[in-house]
Amino acid sequence: MLLPPFDQDTPLFRGNLHGHTTQSDGLQPMATVISSYQDLGYDFIALSDHLWDDATFAADCVTDGTAYDQPDFITLPSAELHCLGKRYDQDGLWHIVANGLPLDFAMASPDEDAPTMVARAIAAGAFVSLAHPEWYGMTTDESMMVSAAHAVEVFNYSCSIKNNRGSGIATADILLHEGHRVGFTATDDSHFAGTDYGGGWVMVGANELTSGAILSALKSGRYYSSTGVEIHAIILDDQTLHVSCSPASHVMLSGHGYYAKSVNGQNISYAVFDISDFDSPYFRITIMQNDGRKAWSNPYWFDELR
Protein backbone atom coordinates (compact mmCIF):
# COMPACT_ATOMS: atom_id res chain seq x y z
CA MET A 1 0.00 0.00 0.00
CA LEU A 2 1.05 3.56 -0.66
CA LEU A 3 1.81 5.44 2.54
CA PRO A 4 0.92 9.08 3.30
CA PRO A 5 1.16 11.59 1.79
CA PHE A 6 1.26 9.55 -1.43
CA ASP A 7 -1.77 7.31 -0.82
CA GLN A 8 -4.41 9.75 -2.06
CA ASP A 9 -4.81 11.44 -5.40
CA THR A 10 -3.97 14.90 -4.08
CA PRO A 11 -1.30 17.41 -5.12
CA LEU A 12 1.71 18.17 -2.95
CA PHE A 13 1.94 21.83 -1.93
CA ARG A 14 5.29 23.34 -1.02
CA GLY A 15 5.42 25.59 2.02
CA ASN A 16 7.58 27.25 4.67
CA LEU A 17 6.17 26.97 8.18
CA HIS A 18 8.55 29.34 10.00
CA GLY A 19 9.49 32.85 8.85
CA HIS A 20 9.57 36.45 10.01
CA THR A 21 8.77 39.94 8.71
CA THR A 22 9.30 43.49 9.95
CA GLN A 23 6.30 42.89 12.21
CA SER A 24 8.92 41.36 14.52
CA ASP A 25 12.66 40.94 13.86
CA GLY A 26 12.56 40.16 10.13
CA LEU A 27 14.29 42.58 7.79
CA GLN A 28 11.66 42.69 5.02
CA PRO A 29 7.95 43.62 5.06
CA MET A 30 5.42 40.90 4.47
CA ALA A 31 4.81 41.93 0.85
CA THR A 32 8.47 41.38 0.00
CA VAL A 33 8.62 38.12 1.95
CA ILE A 34 5.55 36.81 0.14
CA SER A 35 6.75 37.80 -3.33
CA SER A 36 10.17 36.25 -2.66
CA TYR A 37 8.62 32.89 -1.84
CA GLN A 38 6.27 33.15 -4.80
CA ASP A 39 9.31 33.66 -7.04
CA LEU A 40 10.79 30.42 -5.65
CA GLY A 41 7.65 28.50 -6.60
CA TYR A 42 6.17 28.02 -3.15
CA ASP A 43 2.44 27.49 -2.70
CA PHE A 44 2.12 28.77 0.87
CA ILE A 45 4.08 30.25 3.74
CA ALA A 46 3.53 30.94 7.43
CA LEU A 47 4.22 34.45 8.69
CA SER A 48 5.27 33.34 12.15
CA ASP A 49 6.48 36.55 13.74
CA HIS A 50 7.55 36.43 17.38
CA LEU A 51 4.62 36.94 19.76
CA TRP A 52 5.83 38.34 23.07
CA ASP A 53 5.79 41.47 25.18
CA ASP A 54 9.07 42.93 23.92
CA ALA A 55 8.89 45.40 21.05
CA THR A 56 12.62 45.11 20.36
CA PHE A 57 12.09 41.81 18.55
CA ALA A 58 8.45 40.74 18.84
CA ALA A 59 4.95 41.65 17.71
CA ASP A 60 2.02 42.00 20.07
CA CYS A 61 -0.44 40.18 17.82
CA VAL A 62 -0.59 37.40 15.24
CA THR A 63 0.61 38.51 11.81
CA ASP A 64 -2.14 38.45 9.19
CA GLY A 65 -0.99 38.20 5.57
CA THR A 66 -4.23 36.86 4.13
CA ALA A 67 -4.82 40.13 2.22
CA TYR A 68 -2.04 38.92 -0.10
CA ASP A 69 -3.61 35.50 -0.70
CA GLN A 70 -4.22 34.45 -4.29
CA PRO A 71 -5.75 31.33 -5.86
CA ASP A 72 -2.27 29.81 -6.25
CA PHE A 73 -0.62 31.15 -3.08
CA ILE A 74 -1.79 31.50 0.53
CA THR A 75 -0.44 32.53 3.92
CA LEU A 76 -1.12 30.84 7.26
CA PRO A 77 -1.64 33.25 10.19
CA SER A 78 1.02 32.01 12.58
CA ALA A 79 3.37 33.00 15.37
CA GLU A 80 6.53 31.96 17.11
CA LEU A 81 5.20 31.79 20.64
CA HIS A 82 7.25 32.61 23.71
CA CYS A 83 6.90 32.13 27.42
CA LEU A 84 9.34 32.15 30.30
CA GLY A 85 11.05 29.10 31.78
CA LYS A 86 13.46 27.81 29.11
CA ARG A 87 16.75 26.74 30.64
CA TYR A 88 19.38 27.31 27.95
CA ASP A 89 18.22 30.58 26.45
CA GLN A 90 19.78 33.95 27.20
CA ASP A 91 16.31 35.43 27.67
CA GLY A 92 14.86 32.35 29.34
CA LEU A 93 12.26 32.06 26.57
CA TRP A 94 10.70 29.04 24.94
CA HIS A 95 10.28 29.11 21.14
CA ILE A 96 7.18 27.29 19.85
CA VAL A 97 5.89 27.66 16.27
CA ALA A 98 2.12 27.63 15.90
CA ASN A 99 0.62 27.62 12.39
CA GLY A 100 -2.99 28.51 11.75
CA LEU A 101 -3.67 30.59 14.83
CA PRO A 102 -6.77 32.74 15.20
CA LEU A 103 -5.84 36.40 14.86
CA ASP A 104 -6.95 37.15 18.42
CA PHE A 105 -4.67 34.53 19.99
CA ALA A 106 -3.09 36.21 23.00
CA MET A 107 0.59 36.19 23.89
CA ALA A 108 1.60 34.25 26.97
CA SER A 109 1.27 35.91 30.33
CA PRO A 110 4.40 36.16 32.52
CA ASP A 111 3.28 33.16 34.57
CA GLU A 112 2.14 30.85 31.72
CA ASP A 113 4.37 27.80 31.31
CA ALA A 114 5.33 26.03 28.10
CA PRO A 115 3.00 22.99 28.38
CA THR A 116 0.04 25.29 29.01
CA MET A 117 0.97 27.53 26.08
CA VAL A 118 1.32 24.53 23.75
CA ALA A 119 -2.04 23.14 24.89
CA ARG A 120 -3.68 26.55 24.41
CA ALA A 121 -2.34 26.83 20.84
CA ILE A 122 -3.50 23.31 19.97
CA ALA A 123 -6.94 24.01 21.43
CA ALA A 124 -7.10 27.13 19.26
CA GLY A 125 -6.67 24.94 16.17
CA ALA A 126 -2.97 25.43 15.43
CA PHE A 127 -0.40 22.98 14.12
CA VAL A 128 2.33 23.23 16.75
CA SER A 129 6.02 22.39 16.37
CA LEU A 130 9.13 22.69 18.52
CA ALA A 131 11.40 25.28 16.95
CA HIS A 132 15.15 24.75 16.51
CA PRO A 133 15.71 22.49 19.55
CA GLU A 134 19.44 22.16 18.92
CA TRP A 135 19.90 25.93 18.56
CA TYR A 136 18.98 26.64 22.18
CA GLY A 137 19.88 23.35 23.81
CA MET A 138 16.51 21.78 24.44
CA THR A 139 17.08 19.14 27.09
CA THR A 140 15.39 15.74 27.18
CA ASP A 141 13.34 16.79 30.21
CA GLU A 142 12.23 19.95 28.40
CA SER A 143 11.20 18.03 25.29
CA MET A 144 9.03 15.78 27.46
CA MET A 145 7.32 18.85 28.89
CA VAL A 146 6.14 19.93 25.42
CA SER A 147 5.66 16.47 23.88
CA ALA A 148 2.03 17.31 23.05
CA ALA A 149 3.34 19.30 20.06
CA HIS A 150 2.52 17.90 16.64
CA ALA A 151 6.07 18.03 15.29
CA VAL A 152 9.74 18.83 15.80
CA GLU A 153 11.81 20.99 13.48
CA VAL A 154 14.41 18.47 12.35
CA PHE A 155 15.95 21.09 10.07
CA ASN A 156 16.12 24.85 10.53
CA TYR A 157 17.90 26.53 7.62
CA SER A 158 18.71 29.81 9.34
CA CYS A 159 20.27 28.07 12.33
CA SER A 160 22.16 25.69 10.04
CA ILE A 161 23.91 28.41 8.05
CA LYS A 162 24.46 30.83 10.91
CA ASN A 163 25.82 28.58 13.65
CA ASN A 164 25.51 24.94 12.52
CA ARG A 165 22.82 24.25 15.11
CA GLY A 166 19.93 23.57 12.78
CA SER A 167 19.11 19.94 13.56
CA GLY A 168 16.34 18.54 15.69
CA ILE A 169 16.74 14.84 14.93
CA ALA A 170 18.05 13.94 18.39
CA THR A 171 15.08 15.61 20.09
CA ALA A 172 12.61 14.01 17.68
CA ASP A 173 14.12 10.56 18.16
CA ILE A 174 14.02 10.83 21.94
CA LEU A 175 10.33 11.69 21.78
CA LEU A 176 9.71 8.78 19.41
CA HIS A 177 11.61 6.40 21.70
CA GLU A 178 9.33 7.52 24.53
CA GLY A 179 6.26 6.75 22.42
CA HIS A 180 5.30 10.29 21.43
CA ARG A 181 4.05 10.30 17.84
CA VAL A 182 5.60 13.52 16.61
CA GLY A 183 6.11 14.51 12.99
CA PHE A 184 9.16 16.11 11.38
CA THR A 185 9.34 19.54 9.76
CA ALA A 186 12.02 21.34 7.77
CA THR A 187 11.80 25.13 7.83
CA ASP A 188 13.68 28.29 6.96
CA ASP A 189 13.18 30.43 10.06
CA SER A 190 13.78 33.18 7.52
CA HIS A 191 14.57 36.74 8.56
CA PHE A 192 15.90 37.80 5.15
CA ALA A 193 19.31 38.46 6.66
CA GLY A 194 21.20 37.40 3.57
CA THR A 195 20.06 34.18 1.90
CA ASP A 196 18.33 32.51 4.83
CA TYR A 197 15.21 31.56 2.86
CA GLY A 198 14.39 28.76 0.42
CA GLY A 199 16.50 26.18 2.26
CA GLY A 200 13.98 23.95 4.03
CA TRP A 201 10.32 23.23 3.38
CA VAL A 202 7.42 20.80 3.69
CA MET A 203 5.52 19.12 0.87
CA VAL A 204 1.91 18.77 2.01
CA GLY A 205 -0.63 16.44 0.45
CA ALA A 206 -3.95 18.29 0.53
CA ASN A 207 -7.02 18.23 -1.67
CA GLU A 208 -6.98 22.00 -2.13
CA LEU A 209 -4.82 25.03 -1.42
CA THR A 210 -6.74 26.47 1.50
CA SER A 211 -5.68 27.17 5.04
CA GLY A 212 -8.09 24.57 6.39
CA ALA A 213 -6.96 21.83 4.02
CA ILE A 214 -3.25 22.51 4.62
CA LEU A 215 -3.65 22.54 8.40
CA SER A 216 -5.73 19.36 8.37
CA ALA A 217 -3.09 17.60 6.29
CA LEU A 218 -0.28 18.80 8.56
CA LYS A 219 -2.05 17.56 11.67
CA SER A 220 -2.66 14.20 9.96
CA GLY A 221 1.01 13.86 9.04
CA ARG A 222 0.25 14.03 5.34
CA TYR A 223 3.53 15.66 4.31
CA TYR A 224 7.24 15.13 4.05
CA SER A 225 10.11 17.55 4.62
CA SER A 226 13.00 18.44 2.35
CA THR A 227 16.05 20.57 1.68
CA GLY A 228 16.16 19.59 -2.00
CA VAL A 229 15.51 15.86 -2.37
CA GLU A 230 12.10 14.70 -3.61
CA ILE A 231 10.25 11.66 -2.28
CA HIS A 232 7.99 10.23 -4.97
CA ALA A 233 6.44 7.29 -3.12
CA ILE A 234 6.79 5.06 -0.07
CA ILE A 235 5.13 1.67 -0.48
CA LEU A 236 4.65 -1.06 2.12
CA ASP A 237 4.14 -4.46 0.52
CA ASP A 238 3.74 -7.03 3.29
CA GLN A 239 7.29 -7.31 4.70
CA THR A 240 8.96 -5.20 2.02
CA LEU A 241 9.31 -1.43 1.93
CA HIS A 242 9.85 0.40 -1.37
CA VAL A 243 11.09 3.99 -1.59
CA SER A 244 11.04 6.02 -4.82
CA CYS A 245 12.86 9.36 -4.89
CA SER A 246 14.89 11.83 -6.94
CA PRO A 247 18.47 10.62 -7.52
CA ALA A 248 20.26 10.33 -4.18
CA SER A 249 23.33 8.78 -2.60
CA HIS A 250 21.85 7.32 0.59
CA VAL A 251 18.40 6.02 1.48
CA MET A 252 18.09 5.21 5.17
CA LEU A 253 15.46 3.34 7.17
CA SER A 254 15.52 4.18 10.88
CA GLY A 255 13.61 2.90 13.88
CA HIS A 256 13.76 2.55 17.65
CA GLY A 257 17.18 2.90 19.30
CA TYR A 258 19.97 2.45 16.78
CA TYR A 259 17.99 0.10 14.54
CA ALA A 260 18.54 1.08 10.91
CA LYS A 261 19.18 -0.16 7.38
CA SER A 262 20.52 1.73 4.37
CA VAL A 263 21.08 1.59 0.64
CA ASN A 264 24.15 3.53 -0.49
CA GLY A 265 25.59 4.39 -3.89
CA GLN A 266 25.12 6.94 -6.65
CA ASN A 267 21.95 8.13 -8.39
CA ILE A 268 19.70 5.88 -6.32
CA SER A 269 16.10 6.54 -7.28
CA TYR A 270 14.56 3.32 -5.94
CA ALA A 271 15.42 1.43 -2.75
CA VAL A 272 13.96 -1.76 -1.32
CA PHE A 273 14.14 -2.88 2.32
CA ASP A 274 13.24 -6.22 3.88
CA ILE A 275 11.54 -5.27 7.14
CA SER A 276 10.57 -8.76 8.29
CA ASP A 277 13.17 -8.48 11.06
CA PHE A 278 12.77 -4.75 11.75
CA ASP A 279 12.38 -4.77 15.52
CA SER A 280 10.78 -1.37 16.06
CA PRO A 281 7.22 -0.10 16.58
CA TYR A 282 7.81 2.57 13.92
CA PHE A 283 10.06 3.46 11.03
CA ARG A 284 11.07 6.62 9.21
CA ILE A 285 12.92 7.34 5.98
CA THR A 286 15.80 9.76 5.42
CA ILE A 287 17.20 10.35 1.93
CA MET A 288 20.47 12.20 1.38
CA GLN A 289 22.58 13.42 -1.48
CA ASN A 290 26.34 13.68 -1.19
CA ASP A 291 26.02 17.48 -1.36
CA GLY A 292 24.07 17.40 1.91
CA ARG A 293 20.54 17.87 0.57
CA LYS A 294 18.03 15.68 2.38
CA ALA A 295 14.43 14.62 2.69
CA TRP A 296 12.65 13.14 5.70
CA SER A 297 9.43 11.18 5.89
CA ASN A 298 7.30 11.39 8.96
CA PRO A 299 7.49 8.36 11.25
CA TYR A 300 5.10 5.54 10.40
CA TRP A 301 3.76 3.43 13.27
CA PHE A 302 3.07 -0.20 12.44
CA ASP A 303 -0.04 -0.42 14.64
CA GLU A 304 -1.61 2.46 12.68
CA LEU A 305 -0.68 0.91 9.31
CA ARG A 306 -2.30 -2.37 10.27
pTM equals 0.97
Q: What are φ and ψ of residue 86, in 5° steps?
A: -75, 135
pLDDT computed for residue 306 by the predictor: 76
pLDDT computed for residue 33 by the predictor: 98
> Taking residues 258-270, what's their average pLDDT?
97
> Taking residues 203-211, what's their average pLDDT?
98
pLDDT computed for residue 240 by the predictor: 97
pLDDT computed for residue 214 by the predictor: 98
- Domain locations in the chain as residue ranges: 12-226, 231-305
Residue 145 has pLDDT above 80, yes or no: yes
Between CA 79 and CA 275 the distance in angstroms is 40
pLDDT computed for residue 192 by the predictor: 98
pLDDT computed for residue 285 by the predictor: 98
CB 122 within 8 A of CB 128: yes
Between CA 226 and CA 158 the distance in angstroms is 15
Residue 36 has pLDDT above 90, yes or no: yes
Q: What are φ and ψ of residue 111, in 5° steps?
A: -105, 5
> Taking residues 189-196, what's their average pLDDT?
96
pLDDT computed for residue 159 by the predictor: 98
> Taking residues 228-232, what's their average pLDDT?
98
Residue 84 has pLDDT above 80, yes or no: yes
pLDDT computed for residue 135 by the predictor: 98
Between CA 220 and CA 140 the distance in angstroms is 25
Structure-derived torsion over alpha carbons of residues 218, 223, 229, 231, reported in degrees to the nearest 10: 180
> Taking residues 172-194, what's their average pLDDT?
97
37-71 confidence digits (pLDDT tens): 999 999 999 999 999 999 999 999 999 999 999 99
CATH pick for 12-226 out of 3.40.50.970, 3.30.310.220, 3.40.640.10, 3.20.20.140: 3.20.20.140
State the architecture of 231-305 in CATH terms. Answer: Sandwich (2.60)
Residue 4 has pLDDT above 90, yes or no: yes
